[in-house]
Structure 1
Amino acid sequence: MSSVDFETAVKQEEAYLRQVHPTSDDIPSCMKLFDNFLQCNVVAAQMKSLYRYGQMSECGQKLEDFKFCMSNKGVHPQEKYDAWIHRRAEWWARRRMTNSSEDVWEVRTEPLQGYPPVRSNLDSSQTVE
């Protein structure tokens, strides 16, 4: 579980997403989101989920993403971009705040001290050829 509060996690995710998706052209189109929803429901995807996780895929979030996109269809591209970044950041922050099988470490805010180790000159027993 993360040691930061939800609002801080959202701000961190927003900053990251703005770097990964720097312009409004970098966010998925409504058509792409609809395709993602449809692909989630095909038999092959459902069978893979059933095999891997023992249950059918839940595609509700993909449908909600598509509906959110359609609700912003007439909005200025910058406002649509900001809304998409914020919505996605909240989704990632919620994932960070809850337990997951992927929890193996926490995100570092500073580099690990003394790593990588600095290699000193070669020992007298080693020779350079």
Structure 2
Amino acid sequence: MSNTDFQTAAKQEEAYLRAVHPTPEDIPGCMKLFDDFLACNIMGVQLKSLYRYGHMSVCDHKLDDFKFCMSIKNMHPEEKRDAWIHRRAEWWARRRLERSSEDVWDIRTEPLKDFPPARPDVTSSSTSTIE
């Protein structure tokens, strides 16, 4: 697991999101977020989740995103972008720091010693000649 604390992870995520979404037009609109919520609830998505994870897909966070979007709808576009980026950065930071099914291996901080192993020297005496 990473040694990064939440505040550091949130700042890293926020910097990344600001680079990916440089203008207010780059953040998703409320209708897009509502469509994402509806798409999460369709039968195909629910069945895939049931098959893969053994439970129905949980779409509450998508509804929360839509509600948050509606709550900042009347803000100035730059303030709206900042609020959205801050919220998403915290979400990604929590997701990054929590355990998940993808946490199978520990991240190495240095390479393995003597890996890969050295290959034995192949000499010409070991090869036979065909006459």
Q: TM-score of the superposition, structure 1-length normalised?
A: 0.79
Measured against aligned partners, the alpha-carbon deviations of 1:57-99 in whole angstroms (never above 9, x if no partner) come to: 0000000000000001101000000000000000010011111
What is the letter of the counterpart of residue 14 of structure 1? E
SS of the residue corresponding to residue 65 of structure 1 reads helix
Matching residue of 2:117 = none
* 1:42 and 2:42 aligned: yes
What is the deviation of 1:35? 0.1
| Runs (5+) with no aligned partner, structure 2 | 112-131
Determine the C-alpha separation between the residues in 1 that align with 2:65 and 2:86.
13
What is the deviation of 1:52? 1.1
* 1:79 and 2:79 aligned: yes
Measured against aligned partners, the alpha-carbon deviations of 1:20-45 in whole angstroms (never above 9, x if no partner) come to: 11111111000000000000011111
What is the letter of the counterpart of residue 48 of structure 2? K
Q: TM-score of the superposition, structure 2-length normalised?
A: 0.78
Determine the C-alpha separation between the residues in 1 that align with 2:14 and 2:64.
20
| Runs (5+) with no aligned partner, structure 1 | 113-129
Alignment length (residue pairs): 108
What is the deviation of 1:105? 6.0
Matching residue of 1:119 = none
* 1:9 and 2:9 aligned: yes
Determine the C-alpha separation between the residues in 2 that align with 1:2 and 1:66.
31
Determine the C-alpha separation between the residues in 2 that align with 1:66 and 1:12.
24
What is the letter of the counterpart of residue 42 of structure 1? I
Determine the C-alpha separation between the residues in 1 that align with 2:50 and 2:106.
28
